[in-house]
Amino acid sequence: MVNSYFLLGNAYNWLDDYDKALYYLLRATNQIDQINDIDVKAKILGSLAILYTKLKEYDKSLAYFKEALRLPIMVQLRR
């Protein structure tokens, strides 16, 4: 389900329907802990960061970018 929300969010983002994009990407983040794929998690967070940049909500954008960048570091620390 997470991947479906992610894909829908990105599709609406590309169509410049930011309200729907935000809705689906946030739904994806609500279920993000159900998956163990760091790449998918980073892509979801990165997509939200890009969307918030388009919406000129730079503080939120920066927070999501930082979280996306932190994921690979957390994986390395666990090893």
* Residue 75 pLDDT greater than 60, yes or no: no
Distance between alpha carbon 42 and the CA centroid of its chain, in Å? 7
Whole-number mean pLDDT of the chain?
90
Segment 7-28 mean pLDDT = 97
CA atoms of 71 and 48, how far apart (whole Å) = 15
- Residue pair 6/29 in contact by the 8 Å Cβ criterion: no
pTM for the whole thing? 0.85
**CB neighbours of 8 closer than 8 A, spacing ≥ 6?**
20, 24
Domain 2-78 CATH (choose: 1.25.40.10, 3.40.50.11540, 3.90.1150.10, 1.20.1260.10): 1.25.40.10
Span 20-29, mean pLDDT? 96
Residues 55-68, mean pLDDT to the nearest whole number = 96
